[in-house]
Amino acid sequence: MTAMKLIVLRKASRADRSKPRRRRIAVAAVAAVLLAAPNAVLAMDFPEALKRVDHALRTNPSHVSQFALDSCFNRRNFAVKLYESRQVERAERSLEFCFDALEIPAVAPKAKAEAGLDIGKAKAKAVQEAEQALALTPNIKDGLAIYRECASCHKPEGWGLENGSVPQLAGQHSNVIIKQLMDIRAGSRGNPMMEPYSCAEAIGGAQSVADVAGYIDTLEISTANGKGPGINLELGERLYQENCARCHGARGEGDPLKYAPRIQSQHYKYLVNQFRWIRDGKRHNADPEMVAQIKDMKTTDGKAMLDYVSRLEPPEELQAPEGWKNPDFAESKSN
């Protein structure tokens, strides 16, 4: 709950005690409207909050890690874009993350609402865990035990679903898996379906996250993924090479240094959905530079590119042989 909501509630209950009934109803109605309406997320205005974040980015007063600084920097840029497009509440929410990541006080001391603090803490914890997981050596056997849960949706081979509702994970760079998992855990990716499976109760802490990412890394890529309609592939190729290759690679192989996902052989419909979500600001963890690059891009151009991408194949040594089945799931090993 935000500070604003708390103040409204407190006012309403004080009014309850001292005012006649009709006035009480009016106060309750106002409170209800205020609760439903978008509220200020930060206890200061956006420009003021931005100034504080930028100062902390330069001076790093709490000595947080480079990973936390980078995460905050991305989020900060995204927040500025949202603010410029007048989506103030979302901009504030995006910027709020930085206060936790940089471990600086977000508000004038007394006004911080408790619930907000918890969410912020969960996010900061996810950042920390991601960073730890990135540094750990995975235990593949433990990773398999965890992956059994994931396989109900992502499939034993990690190939997801052709209809694009579940992505292919096989072959994805480990650090991308870790980042996405922890972003989902932090609530930064719009789609809630994965959220319960990304939480610490479902997977465990940093070591378990490293383990499951390590296991996924052993899966080979299916090139029988869902493809687009196959029209406009030449246009798609040109647009892709001009706009996307510098981060996602000439053949869609991704770039672990930039946390840019491998997108070759990914299901076309999944790519289209993600592309739209990223472009329209629904995926809060998106790379701000990528958002800027695609924000004015037409859906038809996007589709042509992604159709082309869905047909790009990984090098042969990463491809699963035809008809491959994950031997770890061969007979019913679960009990």
Binding site for ligand HEC (CB under 6 A): 146, 149-150, 152-154, 165-167, 169, 172, 177, 179-181, 189, 191, 193-194, 197, 202-203, 212, 243-244, 246-248, 258-261, 263, 271, 274-275, 283, 285-287, 289-290, 293-294, 305-306
Give 257: exposed, middle or buried? Use CB within 10 Å, 0-12, 13-18, 19+. exposed
In the complex, the smallest distance separating the C-beta of residue 148 from ligand HEC, rounded to whole angstroms, is 9
Query: Which CB sits closer to ligand HEC, 120 or 261?
Result: 261
Tokens at residue 234, please?
């030449």
In the complex, the smallest distance separating the C-beta of residue 256 from ligand HEC, rounded to whole angstroms, is 10
Quickly count helices (H) and strands (E) in the chain. Answer: 15, 0
Query: Which CB sits closer to ligand HEC, 112 or 276?
Result: 276
In the complex, the smallest distance separating the C-beta of residue 269 from ligand HEC, rounded to whole angstroms, is 11
| 75, 95 contact by CB (below 8 A) | yes
* Bridge partners (DSSP) listed for residue 260: 255
In the complex, the smallest distance separating the C-beta of residue 245 from ligand HEC, rounded to whole angstroms, is 8
In the complex, the smallest distance separating the C-beta of residue 160 from ligand HEC, rounded to whole angstroms, is 8
Query: Which CB sits closer to ligand HEC, 88 or 247?
Result: 247
Query: Which CB sits closer to ligand HEC, 76 or 189?
Result: 189
All residues at 6 or more sequence positions from 329 whose CB lies less than 8 Å from its CB, including other chains: 151, 156
Query: Which CB sits closer to ligand HEC, 64 or 209?
Result: 209
Instruction: Tell me the C-alpha distance between 157 and 328, whole Å.
Output: 9
| Residue 158 DSSP code | S
In the complex, the smallest distance separating the C-beta of residue 246 from ligand HEC, rounded to whole angstroms, is 6
Query: Which CB sits closer to ligand HEC, 15 or 73?
Result: 73
Q: What are the angstrom distances between the C-alpha of 24 and each of 3, 21, 29, 34, 314?
A: 22, 5, 9, 15, 66
